[in-house]
């Protein structure tokens, strides 16, 4: 009788041991799945797009690409946020895109002659934009040069900062939508995009 009770007890214990093994293995698989999913999300997560708009007082004088003292001060206040993004997403390339409205930009351009030296000089001067495309590029170059001095002055980070112009062709929602010739303050902006190479 005692032997049969012991056998029943051993069977019950073996059953519970098997059940707890199953639970612990399931928990381990769940934790591993959560960890892999989190790593994949962080790896594939896109960094935020930084918009510098006139509503936030990132203004250029009409037809100008020079950064005002207020513009520089406001941009410098964003440097910690930009550095945080660069570190968090392991960024090695920053794209600065200049957007304009559709108002015609009178004048004759000298960008073809002077532009090759634009990225070597921290202060831009003497450029004559002949179109909104020229003006958007010069504004992007001015912001990119300022960012280069603040983010990687010694070049040790090997941070690549590129300048582009979207002129008046891209609306603020990202759609292709050429602007008419009127004043549209919401279209005038600088966008800063963060990317990383595959190796990084």
d(CA 190, CA 138): 11
Q: Tell me the average pLDDT across 53-81.
A: 94
Q: Are residues 106 and 65 in the same domain?
A: yes
Q: Are residues 90 and 172 in the same domain?
A: yes
CATH of the domain at 170: 3.30.1330.60
d(CA 15, CA 23): 13
- The answer to whether residues 148 and 161 touch, using CB atoms and an 8 Å cutoff, is yes
- Give the rounded distance of the alpha carbon of 58 from its chain centre: 18
Domain membership of residue 14 as a residue range = 1-45
Q: Are residues 98 and 177 in the same domain?
A: yes
In a domain, 62, yes or no: yes
**How does pLDDT run across 155-180, given as a tens digit for each residue?**
888 899 999 999 888 888 888 888 88
In a domain, 200, yes or no: no
pLDDT category at 77 given cuts 50, 70, 90 is very high
Position 35 scores a pLDDT of 73
**How does pLDDT run across 21-56, given as a tens digit for each residue?**
777 777 788 888 777 766 666 556 789 999 999 989
Q: Are residues 88 and 16 in the same domain?
A: no
Position 43 scores a pLDDT of 59
What is the domain count for the chain? 2
What are the phi and psi torsion angles at 162 (to 5°)? Answer: -110, 150
Owner of token pair 């069977």: 11
3-state secondary structure of 50: strand
Q: Tell me the average pLDDT across 100-123.
A: 78
């Amino acid at each position: 009788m005692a032997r049969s009770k012991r056998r029943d007890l051993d069977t019950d214990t073996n059953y519970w041991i098997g059940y707890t093994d199953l639970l612990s293995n399931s928990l381990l698989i769940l934790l591993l799945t959560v960890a892999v999913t989190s790593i994949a999300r962080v790896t594939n997560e896109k960094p935020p797009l930084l918009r510098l708009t006139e509503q936030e007082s990132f203004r250029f004088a009409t037809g100008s690409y020079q950064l005002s003292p207020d513009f520089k001060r406001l941009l410098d206040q964003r440097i910690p946020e930009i550095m945080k993004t660069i570190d968090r997403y392991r960024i090695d390339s920053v794209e600065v895109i200049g957007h304009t409205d559709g108002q015609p930009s009178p004048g004759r351009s000298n960008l073809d002659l002077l532009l090759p030296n634009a990225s070597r000089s921290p202060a831009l001067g003497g450029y004559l934009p002949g179109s909104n495309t020229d003006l958007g590029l010069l504004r992007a170059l001015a912001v990119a040069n300022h960012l280069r001095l603040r983010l990687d002055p010694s070049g040790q980070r090997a941070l690549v900062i590129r300048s582009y112009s979207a002129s008046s062709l891209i609306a603020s929602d990202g759609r292709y939508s050429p602007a008419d010739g009127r004043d549209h303050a919401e279209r005038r902006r600088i966008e800063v995009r963060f990317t990383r190479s595959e190796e990084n």
